[in-house]
Structure 1
Amino acid sequence: MKKEHVEQIQNVIEAAKGKDIKNIFFVACGGSMAALSLGEYFVTKDTSMASFVYTSNEFIHRAPKALGENSLVILRSHSGTTPETVDAATYAREQGALTVAISMDVESALCKESEYTVHYNYKDGSDAIDGEIGVYYTLLFKLLNLLTGEEKFLRGVDQLSKIDQLIESNQAKYKDVADAFGKKYKRDKVIYTMASGAYIHHAYSFTSCLLMEMLWIHSNAIHSGEYFHGPFEVTDYDVPFLMVVGEGPSTPLDQRALDFVTKYSEKVEVVNVKEFDYTGVDEDLKEYFGPALAGPVLRLYADGLAEHTGHPLSVRRYMWKMEY
């Protein structure tokens, strides 16, 4: 990892050490919020620290009472220009919180509005370790180490050096499967996604940002644990589901949903995170690396749909084109 990224992350950790942090807020919109949600999952799973995820505009309007000088607020915007997230940074600072911006542009409004910046490289030929996955995971592992004192998170930082090879090997493993998915479902107007635990944010992101935003395909992200509390009534032989079976404590929820949906639908596709290549990753860290690898793998499924529908992922009807 580049020295500048290491220093930025360490500055955040030192700042957190210097404050009596009582809670952590993860604040962003869309895909950025989905990416940050992973932090809330592991903070609440592995520590006694209170943690929350907010979409930026609601963060401001709800004005959570827990927000204050003992809060750490981590915000993310890819461009650093998302107005709601910039405003959220302003609001958090006004409440005395420690604010950290994650963005590809250190000169962006979000970075200027926040006390600390964690920058990642994007499409400049850099390795993934200096991209959004490597940088965010390094920050998260170091934060978890600070909160728990567990050395496994420092091993996690070291093993992130393998993230490029792991992404490459897993994408190679799923490339043909994802292309076949695109060919098979190119005429379907509705595709549901299902996951739980650390992977529900992937289902949300795939649904909202890839299927709905980029491909204009109707969808809904269903939590595996909630599938039997209403959503399973839409299941039929010709209804497509993309199921993420995770690596971690909530895997039984996914398996239960998978066992049912495959009985009644002939259109179930599965991404089994347990089958990923984890070469060089310790057994007790697989559940942390799984989500880092699932995103790049799921992206291939969207690429497959784009290829076979002839609908480029870059096409928009409204976004960036009009007032909203």
Structure 2
Amino acid sequence: MSVANVLQTAQDQVNQIIEAYKTRTINQVFLVACGGSSALMYPSKYFIDRESTTVKAEVFNSNEFIYRDPSLLGENSLVILCSHKGKTPETTEAAKFAKSKGALTVSLMYVETAPLADESDYIVNYSWAPPGELDPHPEIANYAILYRLTMGLLYVKEGNKKYEKLLSSLPHLDKVMKFIKTNYTAPAKEFAAAYKDEPVIYTMASGSNYGIAYSFAICILMEMQWINSHAIHAGEFFHGPFEILDKKMPFILLMGLDATRPMEERALKFLKEHGEKFLVLDAKEVDWTGVDEEMKGYLAPLALNFILRVYAVELAAARNHPLEHRRYMFKVPY
């Protein structure tokens, strides 16, 4: 499929789903996935929590979604699922389970056909590029598609104007990502050289950015680099985790542009006072030209995610540990 067709197809798929919203009364959104795909869901939950007066959102691991069997799951529910190749067994079963309860099911995947697609009412094929590489269409990357779906729901249900601002801002993401690639590659190399032998690296963030910290911790550091890690919520940092901090303990602090930034600023102050080996990635330092002011807080996770992918590539190279290397995943029964 050509680049132009990929963009048009994704936009058509999203528009079809938004039309379907008009035929339903949706009061709950369940965001269901595993691993990195689950981490994608946090910004959309944050958006719904902040903006909606009639819709509640929850993020679920795919398997727990089935076992927990939420009492509100039913005909008034929208279940959004994600699996990169559409083959995650737990997510496919979750889609099947949601449909059996009468929910509207929408699944995101990179591929066009997969088991997950067969169990979903609608699918959206998002654009994707390997870590550190520029996505030809960041406006239809997985995070962006999720925002289109959740902001589109509130536009239909509540007349929320953020959807229109999102659509006018997304075309400018290409320039944002190019800015990041140009300006963050050199610092990423320096970070990789300094941190390549660390046995543990913690990540920290809050609000819409927490999922990004979680993804980098479990997917990049633990899964792809075999480095011990944990994503710490900036607000929870002061309720136990800060006791691990000393001059030698590495931290990566993400600073976004949403309403929870004061928590990240408080964490930064403490890191400066009591730590020494920490990296701060601040979305304020990104060139947001063309992006609506009200959208920057919501889109900051997309920028921070790409920055971390640039860092991941350089860290893997410095450690001579390819991001594709695995011990267990897809290799042994589990």
Q: Which range, TM-score by smaller chain?
A: over 0.9
Q: Secondary structure at the match of 1:117?
A: strand
Residue 86 of structure 1, aligned match among 85, 92, 98: 92
TM-score, normalised on structure 1? 0.96
Cα distance in 1, alignment partners of residues 154 and 307 from structure 2: 25
Cα distance in 2, alignment partners of residues 33 and 278 from structure 1: 26
For each residue in 1:172-210, what CA deviation from the matched residue of structure 2 results, as whole angstroms up to 9, or x when unmatched? 221111111111001110000000000000010000000
* Contact preservation (8 Å) 1:134, 1:163: no
**Corresponding residue of 2:38:** 33
**Corresponding residue of 1:107:** 113
**Corresponding residue of 1:293:** 303
Query: Does the alignment pair 1:8 with 2:24?
Result: no
Cα distance in 1, alignment partners of residues 52 and 323 from structure 2: 38
* Contact preservation (8 Å) 1:141, 1:157: no
Percent of residue pairs bearing the same amino acid type: 42
Select between 8-17 and 229-238 the one with higher mean Cα deviation: 8-17
* Contact preservation (8 Å) 2:253, 2:278: yes
Query: Does the alignment pair 1:209 with 2:219?
Result: yes
* Contact preservation (8 Å) 2:148, 2:163: no
Cα distance in 2, alignment partners of residues 38 and 282 from structure 1: 17
CA RMSD of aligned residues (A): 1.5
Cα distance in 2, alignment partners of residues 35 and 246 from structure 1: 16
* Contact preservation (8 Å) 2:42, 2:210: no
* Contact preservation (8 Å) 2:169, 2:295: no
* Contact preservation (8 Å) 1:30, 1:205: yes
Q: 1:123 deviation in Å?
A: 4.7
TM-score, normalised on structure 2? 0.93
Per the alignment, do residues 13 and 252 of structure 1 end up closer, same or farther by CA in structure 2, a change over 3 Å counting?
Answer: same
Cα distance in 1, alignment partners of residues 94 and 253 from structure 2: 33
Query: Does the alignment pair 1:132 with 2:137?
Result: no
Query: Runs ≥4 in structure 1, deviation > 3 angstroms?
Result: 121-126, 133-137
Q: Secondary structure at the match of 1:150?
A: coil
* Contact preservation (8 Å) 1:39, 1:140: yes
* Contact preservation (8 Å) 2:86, 2:111: yes
Tell me, which stretches of 5 or more residues in structure 1 are unaligned?
none
Select between 206-215 and 144-153 the one with higher mean Cα deviation: 144-153
Q: 1:36 deviation in Å?
A: 1.8
Q: Secondary structure at the match of 2:191?
A: helix
Cα distance in 2, alignment partners of residues 180 and 143 from structure 1: 43
Per the alignment, do residues 161 and 190 of structure 1 end up closer, same or farther by CA in structure 2, a change over 3 Å counting?
Answer: same
* Contact preservation (8 Å) 1:67, 1:92: yes
Tell me, which stretches of 5 or more residues in structure 2 are unaligned?
none
**Corresponding residue of 1:255:** 265
Cα distance in 1, alignment partners of residues 106 and 137 from structure 2: 23
Cα distance in 2, alignment partners of residues 101 and 248 from structure 1: 27
Residue 305 of structure 1, aligned match among 315, 318, 333: 315
Query: Does the alignment pair 1:119 with 2:129?
Result: no
Q: 1:212 is matched by which residue type in structure 2?
A: M
Q: 1:237 is matched by which residue type in structure 2?
A: K
Query: Does the alignment pair 1:323 with 2:333?
Result: yes
Per the alignment, do residues 247 and 191 of structure 1 end up closer, same or farther by CA in structure 2, a change over 3 Å counting?
Answer: same
